[in-house]
């Protein structure tokens, strides 16, 4: 399950001008319009935060059409071709951020530079606390698996490492409209 609360939080913290998350399919033309508008107002750059699972409205339509073909093919007992088509549509999403950057360059006439935060965040030497906490997380993750408690993540609550249901984590941050719940509570 791909969710966008990390990208949403990073985008807000970093002052992003557009934040694209899986919960809200985006329209690339609207993003390009926003960037062009900022440029016309004299802004020298625009920052677009893109969650890994962010998907365009057009891709959502193609994905739903392929999923519908699979469902119809199952009832006819001829699902191999439909499933191959679905896999092909899903595979087109790989490298989406780089493709989006190129598309925004074409639509705006402005240069795009991509920074993958996952790569950037992996730098630096871990402290003793980092190493100890990582070990505690690993021990708890193994304990959860051994108890058959799947669909959970490990988290730090005060000083205790605990298992937390992924459903509760997702529900806590982003609702089904894509709105970041914590912002509404402030």
The C-alpha atoms of residue 21 and residue 175 are separated, in whole angstroms, by: 12
Mean pLDDT of 107-122: 79
User: pLDDT grade, residue 175 (50/70/90)?
Assistant: low
C-alpha separations of 63 from 25, 26, 57, 74, 176 in Å: 12, 14, 10, 17, 19
Cβ neighbors of 183 (< 8 A, separation 6 or more) are 12
According to the model, what pLDDT value does residue 186 have?
A: 29
Contact 165, 14 (CB under 8 A): no
Query: How many helices (H) and strands (E) would you count in the chain?
Result: 9, 4
User: Phi and psi (nearest 5°) for 153?
Assistant: -120, 160
Q: Tokens in use for 24?
A: 């809200």
Q: Which of 19-23, 111-115, 134-138, 169-173 has the lowest mean pLDDT?
A: 169-173
Q: Which of 2-11, 47-56, 63-72 has the lowest mean pLDDT?
A: 63-72
Scanning 92-127, the segments in alpha helix (DSSP H) are 96-108, 117-120
Q: Which of 51-65, 74-88, 125-139 has the highest mean pLDDT?
A: 125-139
| Percent of the chain residues past pLDDT 70, beyond the cut | 76
- pTM over 0.85, yes/no: no
User: pLDDT grade, residue 72 (50/70/90)?
Assistant: confident
């Amino acid at each position: 399950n791909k969710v966008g609360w990390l990208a949403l939080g990073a985008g807000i913290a970093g002052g992003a001008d557009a934040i694209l998350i899986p919960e809200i399919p985006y329209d690339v033309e609207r993003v390009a319009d926003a960037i062009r508008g900022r440029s016309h107002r004299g802004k020298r750059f625009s920052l677009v935060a893109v969650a890994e699972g962010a998907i365009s409205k057009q891709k959502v339509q193609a994905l739903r059409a392929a999923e519908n073909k699979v469902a119809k093919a199952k009832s006819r007992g001829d699902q191999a071709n439909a499933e191959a088509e679905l896999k092909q549509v899903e595979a087109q999403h790989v490298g989406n951020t780089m493709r989006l950057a190129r598309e925004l360059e074409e639509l705006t006439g402005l240069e795009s530079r991509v920074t993958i935060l996952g790569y950037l965040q992996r730098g630096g030497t871990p402290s003793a606390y980092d190493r100890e906490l990582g070990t505690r997380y690993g021990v708890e993750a193994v304990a959860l698996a051994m108890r058959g408690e799947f669909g959970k993540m490990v988290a730090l609550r005060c000083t205790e490492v605990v298992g937390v249901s992924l459903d509760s984590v997702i529900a806590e941050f982003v609702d089904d409209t894509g709105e970041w719940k914590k912002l509404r509570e402030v």
